[in-house]
């Protein structure tokens, strides 16, 4: 695994080295003896630009080493060349990093790019749209927020905690639209998720004060 990560990290430079050796072998011994070096160099450089070093991000992300994640992302010089699902993941990570820094404008820009590209994993697409929906609600755009939250729920959300957040968001939007019966249904779904995060529990308690008084 360490050797494989080394190859991923340095494959661009290893590819250049392979090309340099291929040229030397080509001059000294002819093309066919150098072919394997040309081929290896091409594969190394092409994979650097089309796949990138995204595999290297998992460890630092799990360890909370954001600086290392940013260093790895900085080695992606031309993100538009990345294979589409990889590019989607790249913009999702950039969006999440921007959210950590409270830079919601940049976060929304990157997450929208990721959402437009789509994801190989429906759960990732659901999480993306959930984040976009919550940001739209924060700036008061309830129509856009509802659209994103419904799309997130359709795509599937990977954990019950986030699912509860999506249902509570829909509940608040529908309460605002005075669609009380639908709001109550989403509130029931949110409670059924049995959220454990204190912030989400507090939100459930706050909405519960008003939901029972509503008609429908």
What confidence tens digit (pLDDT) does each residue in 28-60 have? 999 999 999 999 999 999 999 999 998 898 888
Residue 11 has pLDDT above 80, yes or no: yes
pLDDT at site 215 = 74
pLDDT at site 116: 85
- Cα 126 vs. chain centroid, distance in angstroms? 10
Mean pLDDT of 141-156: 92
| pLDDT beyond 60 at 135 | yes
Comparing CA positions, the residue from 135, 81, 84, 78 lying closest to residue 113 is: 84
Instruction: Label residue 120 by pLDDT band (50, 70, 90).
Output: low
Say yes or no to pLDDT of 132 above 80. yes
- Where residue 82 falls among pLDDT bands split at 50, 70, 90? very high
> What does the mean pLDDT of the chain come to?
89
- If we measure between CA atoms, which residue out of 77, 104, 105 comes closest to residue 90? 77
| pLDDT over threshold 70, residue 142 | yes
**Residue that wins the pLDDT comparison between 48 and 5:** 48
Indicate if the pLDDT at residue 186 is higher than 90: yes
- pLDDT tops 80 at residue 62: no
Burial class (CB in 10 A: 0-12, 13-18, 19+), 150: middle
Sign of CA dihedral 47, 48, 49, 52: positive
């Amino acid at each position: 695994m360490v050797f494989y990560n080394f190859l991923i990290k340095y494959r661009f430079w290893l590819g250049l080295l392979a090309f340099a050796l291929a040229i030397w072998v080509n001059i000294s011994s002819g093309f066919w003896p150098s072919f394997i070096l040309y081929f290896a160099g091409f594969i190394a450089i092409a994979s650097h630009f089309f796949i990138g070093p995204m595999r290297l991000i998992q460890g630092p992300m799990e360890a909370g080493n954001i600086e290392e994640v940013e260093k790895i992302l900085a080695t992606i010089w031309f993100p538009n060349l990345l294979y589409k699902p990889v590019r989607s993941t790249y913009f999702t990570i950039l969006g999440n990093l921007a959210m950590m820094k409270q830079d919601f404008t940049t976060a929304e820009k990157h997450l929208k790019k990721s959402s437009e590209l789509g994801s190989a994993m429906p759960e990732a697409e659901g999480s993306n749209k959930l984040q976009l929906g919550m940001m739209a609600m924060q700036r008061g755009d309830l129509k856009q927020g509802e659209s994103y939250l419904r799309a997130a729920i359709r795509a599937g959300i990977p954990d019950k905690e986030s699912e509860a957040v999506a249902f509570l968001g829909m509940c608040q939007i529908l309460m605002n639209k005075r669609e009380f019966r639908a709001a109550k249904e989403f509130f029931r779904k949110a409670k059924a998720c049995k959220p454990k995060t204190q912030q989400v529990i507090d939100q459930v308690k706050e909405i519960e004060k008003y939901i029972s008084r509503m008609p429908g």
